[in-house]
A and B are shown apart, each in its own frame.
Chain A
Amino acid sequence: MHVPDGFLDAPTSVATGVVAAAAVGVALVKARKELDDRTAPMAGLVAAFVFAVQMLNFPVGAGTSGHLMGGALAAVLVGPWTGLLCLSVVFIVQCLLFADGGITALGTNITLMGITTVAVGWLVFKGLQLVMPKRLSLTAIQAGIGAFVSVPVASLLFVLLYAAGGTADIPLDTLATAMVGVHVLIGIGEGIITFLAVGAILAVRPDLVYGARPILARRELEIRSTATKTTGASA
Chain B
Amino acid sequence: MKNVPTKWVLVGVGVAALVLAGIVSFYASGSPDGLTKVSEDKGFADTETAHGSKDSPFAGYATKDVGNERLSGGLAGVVGVVVVLALGAGLVYVVRRRTPASDRSTDREHEPVD
Which residues in A have some Cβ–Cβ distance to B below 8 Å?
Answer: 1-7, 28, 31-33, 35-38, 40-49, 51-53, 55-60, 63-67, 82, 85-86, 89-90, 92-100, 102-103, 155, 158, 166-168, 170, 174-175, 178-179, 182-183, 186, 201, 203-206, 208
Q: Are A52 and B42 in contact (CB under 8 A)?
A: no
Q: How many residues of B contact A (CB 8 A)?
A: 67
Can you list, as one digit per residue, whether each of B78-96 has a CB less than 8 Å from chain A (1) or not (0)? 0111111111111110011
User: CB-nearest residue of chain B relative to A33?
Assistant: B106
Across-interface contacts of A90 in B (CB, < 8 A): 84
User: CB-nearest residue of chain A relative to B82?
Assistant: A48
Across-interface contacts of B18 in A (CB, < 8 A): 52
Decide if the interface of chain A is mainly helix, strand, loop or mixed.
Answer: helix
A-B contacts, 6 of them at CB < 8 A, read: A33-B103, A41-B6, A42-B13, A47-B87, A86-B88, A208-B6
Q: Are B92 and A178 in contact (CB under 8 A)?
A: no
Across-interface contacts of A203 in B (CB, < 8 A): 1
Q: Are A98 and B107 in contact (CB under 8 A)?
A: no
Q: Are B32 and A51 in contact (CB under 8 A)?
A: no
With A48-B17, A51-B17 as known contacts, state yes or no: A201 contacts B32, CB within 8 Å: no
Starting from the known contacts A41-B6, A98-B53, A98-B61, 8 additional A-B residue pairs (CB-CB under 8 Å) come to A5-B51, A36-B107, A45-B88, A52-B80, A55-B25, A98-B59, A102-B49, A179-B34
Decide if the interface of chain B is mainly helix, strand, loop or mixed.
Answer: helix
Q: Are A201 and B48 in contact (CB under 8 A)?
A: no
User: CB-nearest residue of chain B relative to A82?
Assistant: B92
Q: Are B107 and A174 in contact (CB under 8 A)?
A: no
Interchain CB contact (< 8 A) of B24 among A38, A56, A82, A175: A56
With A51-B81, A89-B88, A93-B80 as known contacts, state yes or no: A4 contacts B51, CB within 8 Å: yes
The interface centre, meaning the residue of B43, B47, B59 with most chain A CB atoms within 10 A of its CB, is B47
Interchain CB contact (< 8 A) of A103 among B42, B44, B51, B86: B51
Can you list, as one digit per residue, whether each of B58-84 has a CB less than 8 Å from chain A (1) or not (0)? 111100000000000000110111111
Q: Are B52 and A103 in contact (CB under 8 A)?
A: yes
Q: Are A52 and B77 in contact (CB under 8 A)?
A: yes
Nearest Cβ on chain B to A231's Cβ, whole angstroms = 13
